[in-house]
Amino acid sequence: MNMIATLDGQPFHQPLGKVVCIGRNYAAHAAELNNPVPSEPLLFIKPATSVVDFSSAPLRLPQGEGDVHYEAEMALLIGESLSHVTPSEALTGIAGVGMALDLTLRARQSKLKEKGHPWEIAKGWDGACPLTGFIAADRVEAWDDVNFSLSINGQLRQQGHTAQMLTPVEHLLAYASQWFTLMPGDVVLTGTPEGVGTLHTGDQLQLTLEDWLSETGLVG
């Protein structure tokens, strides 16, 4: 059974489904990893089994895989089916907004990319998507004016603002829906700003979304 998300502190009516992610949606992050900025959204999927509750238990990192990088992202909880929708239609499908970490086995990803192979293993392993609770989407007045951040051991590591997205929220959802239907319970990660780095055992993490949401987690 897949994990159940919480929306305003209550269990969501559908189990979590797939997690749709966008790569390189902030130009500064693409630059820090020496990656070109894509001409259209770069999408990949994490399975539902990659999702863990960010704050309920220590986050477990794979052993013997080298650096595990954190990438803090605003997350969208889908509340109704979206298929071949327009950008304006896409916004009606968002039930909630929260935060997530897109955890990455960076060395394994680099090796797979060098060979031209898919790199889902580096992004979709069990535990690769720590997720906070969600707050109702109607709290958001403007999707291009949302601030979020990640602090580690009391130090600010990542700070993002959705106006910096190369593909804004409504266009991202509309684009994704042209290729695969977004279902209730699916989650969409909207990209990470610059400042990614390595997690270490014992790190204390804090994910913040405006003044709506702030959760703490621990790397076990």
pLDDT in tens, 11-44: 999 999 999 999 889 976 655 666 666 778 999 9
Distance CA 123, CA 89 (A): 29
Overall pTM > 0.85:
yes
Work out the mean pLDDT of the chain and round it to a whole number: 94
> Six-digit token pair at 180?
């695969």
Q: Which domains does the chain have, with CATH numbers?
A: 10-218 (3.90.850.10)
* Residue whose pair of structure tokens reads 């392993």 in the numeric block: 125
pLDDT digits (tens, 9 = 90+) for 139-167: 999 999 999 999 999 999 999 999 999 99
CB 160 within 8 A of CB 147: yes
- The torsion defined by the Cα of 40, 140, 155 and 68, in degrees rounded to 10, comes to -40
pLDDT of residue 211: 97
* Residue whose pair of structure tokens reads 């968002």 in the numeric block: 94
> Six-digit token pair at 82?
């979206």
What Cα–Cα distance (Å) separates residue 93 from each residue in 47, 80, 99? 20, 5, 18
What Cα–Cα distance (Å) separates residue 199 from each residue in 66, 76, 196, 204? 10, 24, 10, 10
pLDDT of residue 24: 87
> Six-digit token pair at 41?
């959204």
